[in-house]
Amino acid sequence: MKNALLAGLAVATLLLAAAVYSTREQDAPNFDLASLSADEKTALRGEIRAYLLDNPEVIFEAVDIAESRQAEAQAQQDVTLVSVNAEDIFNDGYSWIGGNPEGDITLVEFVDYRCGYCRRAHDDVAELVKTDGNIRLIMKEFPILGEDSLRSSQFAIAVKQIAGDDSYKAAHDALITMRSAANEVTLSRLATTLGLDATQILAHMNSDAVREEIATTRALAQRLQISGTPSFVMQDELLRGYVPLEGMQQMVAGKRG
């Protein structure tokens, strides 16, 4: 908000300066602050200050303009980032794919099992995929919140690599709701509950294959300028942060036109 306020103040100042100067000069379209003398600049600053004190709403109008321009620039940059990295986002060859594999909308989620907003998003995403029926869901393991996050993702990936997609989905759903620490005891118990060989899963957690998948996803997130979870890619659009079910439904409808 502070950055936007400063940017808005700058926009307001420049616009106002042009307006003030235009009352004195016939060549206002060629207005250039650098061309003013020291006395003219001092006088102009005084007029601008007085005007802004009398009309502070101008600053907030300028903030809205600045934020809108920043959002538009970020959205366009995100479209480019998604386009450049499309193959790694949508067809990396290792991420779990659920929902409708032939769906007309693809939703990719970067998830951390210890992220509170990821836990909120879990039920919303599940409901979206279930009720829509035509969404291809891709899950990318992106542990960024410490050792428990890392161990949870290592466990989930190990399950996927050894036992397959169905077991991964079961592990994923269990991990996203698990409140206890992700240590050897709790993860061994979870593996057994899922009907898996706990010793084999835990041993595979530290394998090169698991580490490589996490490192590759982290590198992709860096290229996409993703630093938090949950983060989503919906078709050509990056969604940075939690989006409630209704918001996602509206976005899906918008993508379909």
Helix or strand holding residue 231 (H, E): strand 231-234
With vertex at residue 232, the alpha carbon angle to CA 168 and CA 209, rounded to the nearest 5 degrees, is 40
Q: Where are the domains of the chain?
A: 2-84, 88-256
Angstrom distance (rounded) from CA 242 to CA 228: 10
The two three-digit tokens of residue 24, written as one number = 């004195």
The structure's pTM equals 0.74
pLDDT score, position 206: 95
pLDDT score, position 28: 46
**Model pLDDT for residues 19-30, shown as the tens digit of each residue:** 555 444 444 445
Angstrom distance (rounded) from CA 45 to CA 105: 53
Share above pLDDT 70 across residues of the chain, in percent, rounded to a whole number:
81
Can you identify the CATH homologous superfamily of domain 88-256? Glutaredoxin (3.40.30.10)
pLDDT score, position 3: 55
- Ordered mean pLDDT values, 10 residues apiece, the chain (257 residues): 51 53 48 71 78 75 69 76 96 96 97 97 97 98 97 98 98 96 97 97 97 98 96 94 96 94
pLDDT score, position 198: 97
